[in-house]
């Protein structure tokens, strides 16, 4: 069983943390993963930095710019992740934009993901229908799950289709918004979460975008199996550094 | 089966095009895709569009026989005078079309990206005309380089927001505009200024710009008794003026198509914008096309003395013209382009935009025949570039 499916089978109120590979320093990748694992995080998203991340807010874009300046590349990331599965069993997802993956070769990318022990991918600018038509078989061949986003504007038929072809989880974008931290959810967002919950989808839901603190995390898990935190964690890394990761997680989980 | 160089029903030109957009943009793109042809073919729309092009933009623009130039190069040279459009370039054909479309879609807030500022000015102009709120994203670097156009946009009531991430130029302004649209999907329409971006934008912009080529056909028929020139020639950054003049000739192989790209300081100098030579297939701003990038798939920053040509990609229509061989691609460096700015000014009394100057430099690269009919898209006027010309020639 894929580690992502296992975590949904065994755990509730899942906390998934995003960080950009190569930030703050080129070689921080493995120590960040281990600290997150040791702090009790349930799942990790490793961001493959891209020059033009148009679904992300300024915090993540800046971290990507720095990561690229530090010399992060797709090949380097796979190199860094080589020893990964000797030290941790936490599910790990790579989040990256389609162009770098396309240049690496989708099949080579999936193959290298499998060989280092990556469990799934999130590719925000690879639309579900293009994925399904061209790449689904390749992903299945290497047992790499692909996660899709839904938003308040995604139609019911489209959500049903996404649910049908998903084998991991569905990433529920909390609002009309690119990534970035907010303090609490609005009434419209809660109505949207409820509407999706009533659809009784087979895939578990995680809420992402705008989760920043204990309040929004607690709210999110009322309407889903868990939450994803990105920008708020990047900010913490930037301000407090790699050694203080457990402080951030404790505050969310306490 | 007859090959077409126009868009297919899936939004592709050969291998290029499509809509590689995040889910957050999907509903907006889908709405546009399902409505743009229907709305823009409605009688009332066509009537309003045509009237504004005639009475507000000043169309049809003349097809001018450039006699001195023709004599010198011993061939027949015509200029399609898009530089005479209101706001000084072809850009306004598209913004008129899109503002009318936005109104029909019930949108009351307009966003746009701009590099040199021409599209920003054309967008601010039509927003003022319609009384709609207008926000223009522009790279911080370009805001400094293109101060007169920033002032024009402000004068017209637009808010100019600097793009401060990445390289702070056109591609970053485009990223910011896309982000704005993701955050404001209900009330906002995004007016893309070129034949780039996710389907249906390349086709929609090409259709609004096709008025250029359609007029050429009629005018040439009257003047020469033949609607087909031997060559149509246009500069290509994103490629909207080229798409507009090529449009009715795309599938007519009697007419040769020449796309002129900016070589900057030279193809091999590391400072160039010649995407067809230096680019590779990839995804930029939601479209599969040729783009300049590192081996690792990071989009690189192009260079040209002309701010309107330094986009790291080209529209998917042009990528297909290149790959299929339907279009001939020529790159012209800064020096030759600048010389041609001066040549056209002094031989025909027309000061062209530096973008446009690139196209004319082809006259020194290709030997045309005496009976050839050549149509250049004189896409913009040079007022905005006077500062650059003056510095360059120490006038």
From B80, B91, B168, B384, active-site residue: B91
- Residue A12 has what pLDDT? 93
Question: Using CA atoms, how far apart are residues B194 and B299, in angstroms rounded to an integer?
Answer: 18
Chain A residue whose CA is closest to B284: A99
Per-residue pLDDT reduced to its tens digit, B131-164: 999 999 999 988 987 889 999 999 999 999 999 8
Q: Are residues B151 and B295 in the same domain?
A: no
Using an 8 Å Cβ cutoff, are B304 and B333 in contact?
A: no
Structural domain contains residue B310: yes
Helix, coil or strand: residue A44: strand
**Contact yes or no for B193/B122 (Cβ under 8 A):** yes
Q: Do B282 and A58 touch (CB under 8 A)?
A: no
Torsion angle of alpha carbons B328, B329, B334, B339, nearest 10°?
A: 0
Residue B4 has a pLDDT of 95
pLDDT one-digit tens code per residue, B353-374 = 999 999 999 999 999 999 999 9
Q: Which domain holds residue B269?
A: 59-88+212-393
B-chain residues near A159 (CB < 8 A) = none
Option in B23, B175, B286 nearest A149 (CB): B23
Sorting pLDDT into bands at 50, 70 and 90, what band is A183? Answer: low
Task: Establish whether B370 is a catalytic residue.
Answer: no
In a domain, B7, yes or no: no
Task: Choose one of B204, B233, B254: the last residue of a domain.
Answer: B204
Does the pLDDT at position B177 exceed 90? yes
- The Cα B239–Cα B332 span in angstroms is 15
Q: Say yes or no to pLDDT of A176 above 60.
A: no
**Is the domain of B236 the same as that of B369?**
yes
Residues B157 and B173 in one domain: yes
Each residue's pLDDT tens digit, B62-84: 999 999 999 999 999 999 999 99
- In angstroms, the separation between the Cα of residue B341 and the nearest Cα of chain A is 34
Residue after which a domain boundary falls, among B180, B204, B228: B204
With CB atoms and an 8 Å threshold, state whether B26 touches A73.
no
A-B C-beta contacts closer than 8 Å: 109
Report the C-alpha gap between A209 and B22 in whole angstroms: 14
- Name the closest residue on chain B to residue A54, using Cα atoms: B175
B99 and B42 co-located in one domain: yes
Best residue in A56, A64, A67, A103 for a mutation probing chain B (most B CBs within 10 Å): A103
- Mean per-residue pLDDT of chain A: 95
> Could you tell me if B242 and B127 lie in one domain?
no
Chain B interface includes A246 (CB < 8 A) = no
Q: Please give the pLDDT value at position A180.
A: 59
**CB-based contact B166 A65, cutoff 8 Å:** yes
**Is residue B150, in this structure, part of any structural domain at all?**
yes
Same domain assignment for residues B216 and B187: no
**Cβ burial, residue B105 (10 Å; 0-12/13-18/19+):** middle
ipTM, two decimals, is 0.94
Write down the residue that tokens 């959500």 correspond to: A159
Whether B140 and B174 map to the same domain: the answer is: yes
Q: What is the C-alpha to C-alpha distance for residues A177 and B253, in angstroms, rounded to an integer?
A: 47
Which domains occur in chain A, in start order? Answer: 3-249 (3.20.20.70)
| Residue B278 placed within a domain | yes
Q: How confident is the model at residue A198 (pLDDT cuts 50, 70, 90)?
A: very high
Instruction: Name the residue facing A55 among B19, B24, B172 (closest C-beta).
Output: B24
Q: Could you give the CA distance from residue A17 to residue A208 in angstroms, rounded to a whole number?
A: 10
Domain shared by B35 and B152, yes or no? yes
Q: In terms of domains, do B35 and B143 share one?
A: yes
Is the same domain home to B141 and B63?
no
Cα(B154)–Cα(A16) distance, integer angstroms: 44
For residue B97, tell me if it sits in a domain.
Answer: yes
Is A182's pLDDT higher than 80?
A: no
Mind listing the pLDDT tens digit for each residue in B197-239?
999 999 999 999 999 999 999 999 999 999 999 999 999 999 9
- The answer to whether position B151 is within a domain reads yes
Residues B99 and B84 in one domain: no
Average pLDDT over residues B375-379: 98
Look at residue A138 in the predicted model and tell me its pLDDT.
98
Instruction: Give residue B3's pLDDT.
Output: 83
Q: What is residue B218's predicted lDDT score, i.e. its pLDDT?
A: 98
In CATH, what number is assigned to the domain containing residue B311?
Answer: 3.40.50.1100
d(CA B112, CA B161): 10
Q: Count how many domains chain B has.
A: 2
Domain check: are B66 and B134 in the same one? no
Catalytic site residue B304?
no
Listed residues B204, B227, B253: the one ending a domain: B204
- pLDDT at site A178: 57
Short-list B379, B37, B97, B4, CA closest to B216: B379
Strand partners, B380: B89
Q: Which range, of A16-30, B100-114, B155-169, B311-325, averages the lowest pLDDT?
A: B155-169
Q: What is the pLDDT of residues B270-322, one digit of tens each?
A: 999 999 999 999 999 999 999 999 999 999 999 999 988 989 999 999 999 99
Percent residues over pLDDT 70 in chain B: 100
Measured from the Cβ of residue B299, the count of other Cβ atoms closer than 10 Å reads 25
Q: What distance in Å separates residue B198's CA from the closest CA in chain A? A: 11
- The reply to whether B284 touches chain A by the CB within 8 Å rule is yes
Chain A contacts of B11, Cβ < 8 Å? none
């Amino acid at each position: 069983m894929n580690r992502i499916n296992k975590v949904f089978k065994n755990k509730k109120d899942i906390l998934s943390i995003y960080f950009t590979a190569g930030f703050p320093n080129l070689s921080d990748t493995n120590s960040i993963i281990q600290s997150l694992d040791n702090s009790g995080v349930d799942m990790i998203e490793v961001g493959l930095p891209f020059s033009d991340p148009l679904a992300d807010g300024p915090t993540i874009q800046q971290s990507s710019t720095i990561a690229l300046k530090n010399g992060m590349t797709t090949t380097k990331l796979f190199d860094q992740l080589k020893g990964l599965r000797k030290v941790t069993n936490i599910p790990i997802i790579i989040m990256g934009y389609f162009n770098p993956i396309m240049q690496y070769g989708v099949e080579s990318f999936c193959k290298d993901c499998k060989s280092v022990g990556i469990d799934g991918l999130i590719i925000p600018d690879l639309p579900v229908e293009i994925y399904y038509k061209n790449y689904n078989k390749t992903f299945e061949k290497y047992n790499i799950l692909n996660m899709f986003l839904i938003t308040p504007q995604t139609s019911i038929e489209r959500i049903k289709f996404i649910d049908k072809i998903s084998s991991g989880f569905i990433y529920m974008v909390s609002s009309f918004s690119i990534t970035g931290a907010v303090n609490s959810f609005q009434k419209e967002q809660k109505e949207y979460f409820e509407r999706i919950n009533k659809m009784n989808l087979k895939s578990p839901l995680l809420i992402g975008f705008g989760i920043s603190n204990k309040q929004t995390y607690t709210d999110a898990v009322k309407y889903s199996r868990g939450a994803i935190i990105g920008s708020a964690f990047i900010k913490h890394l930037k301000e407090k550094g790699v050694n203080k990761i457990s402080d951030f997680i404790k505050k969310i989980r306490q | 089966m007859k090959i077409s160089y126009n868009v297919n029903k899936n939004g592709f030109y050969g291998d290029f095009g499509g809509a590689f957009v995040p889910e957050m943009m999907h509903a907006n793109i889908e709405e546009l895709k399902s409505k743009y042809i229907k709305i823009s073919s409605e009688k009332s729309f066509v009537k309003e569009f045509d009237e504004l092009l005639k009475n507000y933009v000043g169309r049809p623009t003349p097809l001018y026989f450039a006699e001195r130039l023709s004599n010198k190069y011993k061939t027949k040279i015509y200029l399609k005078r898009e530089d005479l459009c209101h706001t000084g370039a072809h850009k306004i054909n598209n913004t008129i079309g899109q503002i009318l479309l936005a109104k029909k879609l019930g949108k009351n807030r307009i966003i746009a990206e701009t590099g040199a500022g021409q599209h920003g000015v054309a967008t601010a102009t039509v927003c003022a005309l319609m009384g709609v709120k207008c926000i223009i994203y522009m790279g911080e670097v370009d805001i400094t380089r293109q101060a007169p156009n920033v002032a024009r946009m402000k004068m017209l009531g637009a808010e100019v927001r600097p793009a401060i991430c990445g390289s702070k130029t056109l591609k970053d302004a485009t990223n910011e505009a896309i982000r704005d649209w993701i955050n404001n999907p209900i009330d906002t329409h995004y007016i893309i200024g070129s034949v780039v971006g996710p389907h249906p934008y390349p086709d929609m912009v090409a259709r609004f710009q096709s008025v250029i080529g359609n007029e050429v056909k009629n005018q040439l028929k009257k003047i020469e008794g033949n609607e087909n020139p031997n060559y149509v020639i246009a500069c290509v950054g994103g490629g909207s003026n080229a798409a507009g003049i090529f449009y009715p000739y795309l599938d007519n192989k009697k007419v040769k198509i020449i796309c002129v790209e900016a070589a900057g300081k030279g193809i091999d100098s590391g400072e160039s914008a010649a995407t067809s030579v230096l680019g590779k297939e990839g995804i930029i701003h939601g479209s599969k096309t040729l783009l300049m990038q590192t081996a690792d798939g990071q989009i690189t920053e192009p260079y040209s003395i002309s701010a309107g040509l330094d986009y790291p990609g080209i529209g998917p229509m042009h990528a297909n013209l290149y790959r299929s061989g339907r279009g001939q691609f020529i790159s012209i460096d800064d020096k030759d382009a600048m010389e041609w700015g001066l040549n056209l000014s002094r031989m025909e009394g027309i000061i062209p935009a530096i973008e446009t100057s690139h196209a004319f430099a082809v006259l020194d690269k290709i030997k045309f025949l005496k009976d050839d009919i050549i149509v250049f898209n004189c896409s913009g006027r040079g007022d905005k570039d006077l500062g650059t010309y003056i510095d360059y020639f120490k006038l």
